[in-house]
Structure 1
Amino acid sequence: MLKLLFLTLIFISTLYANKVIYLSYDEIPKRVIKGEIFTVTLKALSTVRDFDDIEYEFLNYSGLKILDERPEREEKGKFFYDTFHILATASYAKLPDVNATLVASREYNSTFIDGPELNIITLNPKKNFSNIIADELTLVEYKTTTYDKSHNIVVFIAQAKNSDISAMHFKNVYKQGSESKVESYNDSKITYFVVIDKRIENFTFSYFNLKKNNFAMLNIPIIVDDDSVTTQSDLKPRDQSHDKIKMYAAAAVAFIAFFLIVWRKKYIYLIFILIPLVYIISLATPEETICIKEGAQIRLLPVDNGTIFETTQTKYYLPKEGSVKNFIKVQLQNEKIGWVKNEDTCSY
């Protein structure tokens, strides 16, 4: 019996003698919101001095996305504190089991620890929720233009801190999508568009503020603007519905000016003939049309990665409404406005 106990003690002491890393989870959040980016810290102590690094292998985790390839490391005495950023993607989550190995000239045994389950909270937001959970979300700029007879399009740029900016999504909008984004859990930026009903006077939405632990509101007043947004031209086509009335009015002014010249013999009134005539000619000049190739992609905005909402099934001609950089603005047969790349046009 004593011999068996002695052999057991020798076996246990041998195991501990070969252990070169002591590892544990140091900081685990008490609760995590689904969709939140949070951090966990691993605490490591090496029993050997001559090594280059500590490598981690994550196993058997659930409901999470690990965002860092390498941790943020802080050394305190003999201890190493390695912090990882993690995104909670589900209503149930378990931290990884971790296998830690020293990177050194000679091989050492690795250390393994189990990952605990997390307390995941699922939000129950109102319908205007943007699906963004962040330390802070701010609007940089915004722009509203006409989309079609029933809708306006709102384009805005937003910045977020500690957020999965790609998760942005709205309910109860006609169309939506991102035009560009810079993804980083520290500082991210997105250019986003929503197509909304013309009757809406304010586009108001919420996000969950992690610092204040509540829903915060952002508001975009709907002021339809014909000017350009940064480098993008307005999306509104020229209204030609009253061109004939305008031409008749200009002709009437020219006729009255001609009558005054004949009656009073004052040729200064010629200016009141020339200006209306120039205006009539400009209105009467037919719109320029362009040839669009088969398979051309019609974009919502004039940017390379802009949302494609239609692809041409055959070659056809469209009125040209304007141009900016490498894009031409066209009016589709359904009266919607789109942008096509110069390279997708064809010769007549």
Structure 2
Amino acid sequence: MVRALFILSLITSALFANKVIYFSYDEVPQRVIKGQIFDVTVKTLSTVKNFQDIKYKFSDHKGIRVLNKVPYRVKKGKFYYDTFKLYLTSSRAKLPDIEAYLVSSQEYDSTTIKGSDLNIITLNPQRDFSHVIADSFSLKNYKTTSYDNKHNIVVFSATAENSMLNAMHFKNVYKQGQESLKQSLKNGKVTYFVVIDKKYETFTFSYFNLLENKFLDIKIPIIVDDDSVATQTDLKPQNQSHEKIKMYIAIAVAVLLAVLIVWRKKYIYLILVVFPLGYIYFIATPQQEVCIKKDASIHLLPVDNGTIFEVTENQKYLLKEGSVKNYIKVRLENEKIGWVKNEDTCSY
């Protein structure tokens, strides 16, 4: 009997001789919302003193995306507390199995812990939900311009903490899209546009605030203007009625100056009439047309990788409404306003 116990002891020692890592899940959320970014922390102890690093491999997980393979690490005594950020993509999910191993000049066996199923909550939001779940969401700037006879386009920039901003999406809008995105595990920034009916005086949407555990509303007042936004966008055509009024005023000024000069016989001052006449000529001159190549992309905004809403089927001439760096603003046959890259013009 003693001999059998001794042999069993030897076998057990041999099995665990190379086990140098002990670790387990330390912090796991009690519940997770579908679409949420959440933290999972593992507590790790190494029995080996001389090693370079502790690394991890993930396997056998479902409904989850691991966002950082390199953990946020805090060392307390001999223990390592390594935190990973995970993104929940499904209403049914399981934490990953995690294998920990040492980076060392010697080879040691790794250690694996099994992941468990998560307690998942699915939100039941209203129709104005933006699909953004975050610790915070802040509107930085916004602009509304005319898109066509029936719609306005609202462009806004926002930042969010602990959020997957590329999930942003709205219902009941004519068009929408992401113009730029700076995704960060802590602070992200997005520039987004929506095309909505002109009848709306406010564009309102909601997001779910994780810290307050409730939906919060974001309201953007619809104020249509002609000023350029940060991207130097000016989507609204010139108001031709204003230009006609200015031309009539210039004509009146020119006639009045001419009458006064002839009446007082001060013909040398006829040069003063040149200025209003020049302005009249400038206003009356037809808008410049620009030649657009076949298969040219018409962009919604003058930004790289911006949304393309139309492609020219053949070469055409469009009215030039303005320009910014590398882009020309044009008016299409359907009165919509778009932006064309300089390289897509015939003269380029």
How far apart, CA to CA, are the structure 2 residues paired with 1:21 and 1:255?
Answer: 92
After TM superposition, the score normalised by the length of structure 1 is 0.91
How far apart, CA to CA, are the structure 1 residues paired with 2:160 and 2:243?
Answer: 47
Contact 2:251/2:280, CA 8 A, preserved across alignment: no
TM-aligned CA distance change 1:16 to 1:295, over 3 Å: same
Q: 5 Å matches for 1:185-334? A: 185-240=185-240, 253=252, 257=256, 265=263, 277-278=277-278, 280-334=280-334
Gap runs ≥5 in structure 2: none
Contact 2:231/2:303, CA 8 A, preserved across alignment: no
Q: 5 Å matches for 1:67-146? A: 67-146=67-146
SS of match in other structure, 1:265: helix
The structural deviation recorded for 1:97 is: 0.8
The structural deviation recorded for 1:284 is: 2.5
How far apart, CA to CA, are the structure 2 residues paired with 1:74 and 1:172?
Answer: 46
The structural deviation recorded for 1:191 is: 0.8
- For residues 50-101 of structure 1, the C-alpha deviation after alignment (integer angstroms, 9 at most, x for no partner) is 2111121111000011010201111111111111011111111101111111
TM-aligned CA distance change 1:85 to 1:344, over 3 Å: same
How far apart, CA to CA, are the structure 1 residues paired with 2:265 and 2:68?
Answer: 80
SS of match in other structure, 2:62: coil
Letter in 1 for 2:17: A
How far apart, CA to CA, are the structure 2 residues paired with 1:160 and 1:255?
Answer: 57
CA RMSD of aligned residues (A): 2.7
**2:20 corresponding residue in structure 1:** 20
**1:56 corresponding residue in structure 2:** 56
How far apart, CA to CA, are the structure 2 residues paired with 1:52 and 1:287?
Answer: 69
Letter in 2 for 1:292: I
Q: Which moved more, 1:279-288 or 1:302-311?
A: 279-288
The structural deviation recorded for 1:16 is: 2.8
How far apart, CA to CA, are the structure 2 residues paired with 1:151 and 1:218?
Answer: 21
SS of match in other structure, 2:12: helix
Q: Which moved more, 1:2-11 or 1:181-190?
A: 2-11
TM-aligned CA distance change 1:7 to 1:191, over 3 Å: same
How far apart, CA to CA, are the structure 2 residues paired with 1:258 and 1:51?
Answer: 92
How far apart, CA to CA, are the structure 1 residues paired with 2:265 and 2:225?
Answer: 41
TM-aligned CA distance change 1:134 to 1:244, over 3 Å: closer
Q: Which moved more, 1:140-149 or 1:7-16?
A: 7-16
How far apart, CA to CA, are the structure 1 residues paired with 2:72 and 2:205?
Answer: 34
Letter in 2 for 1:79: F
How far apart, CA to CA, are the structure 2 residues paired with 1:259 and 1:327?
Answer: 43
Contact 2:151/2:198, CA 8 A, preserved across alignment: yes
Identity %: 60
The structural deviation recorded for 1:5 is: 5.4
TM-aligned CA distance change 1:245 to 1:211, over 3 Å: closer
TM-aligned CA distance change 1:244 to 1:41, over 3 Å: closer
- For residues 166-220 of structure 1, the C-alpha deviation after alignment (integer angstroms, 9 at most, x for no partner) is 1111111111111111110201101111111111001111110011111111111
Contact 2:58/2:97, CA 8 A, preserved across alignment: yes
How far apart, CA to CA, are the structure 1 residues paired with 2:28 and 2:56?
Answer: 17
**2:38 corresponding residue in structure 1:** 38
Does residue 153 of structure 1 match 2:149? no
- For residues 281-335 of structure 1, the C-alpha deviation after alignment (integer angstroms, 9 at most, x for no partner) is 3332111011111121110001112111111121111110000111100001111
- For residues 250-270 of structure 1, the C-alpha deviation after alignment (integer angstroms, 9 at most, x for no partner) is 6984797499669x9357998
How far apart, CA to CA, are the structure 2 residues paired with 1:323 and 1:147?
Answer: 17
SS of match in other structure, 1:10: helix
Contact 2:258/2:273, CA 8 A, preserved across alignment: no
Contact 1:95/1:118, CA 8 A, preserved across alignment: yes
The count of residues paired between Structure 1 and Structure 2 equals 346
**2:179 corresponding residue in structure 1:** 179
The structural deviation recorded for 1:36 is: 0.6
The structural deviation recorded for 1:237 is: 1.1
After TM superposition, the score normalised by the length of structure 2 is 0.91
Q: Which moved more, 1:228-237 or 1:315-324?
A: 228-237
SS of match in other structure, 2:17: helix
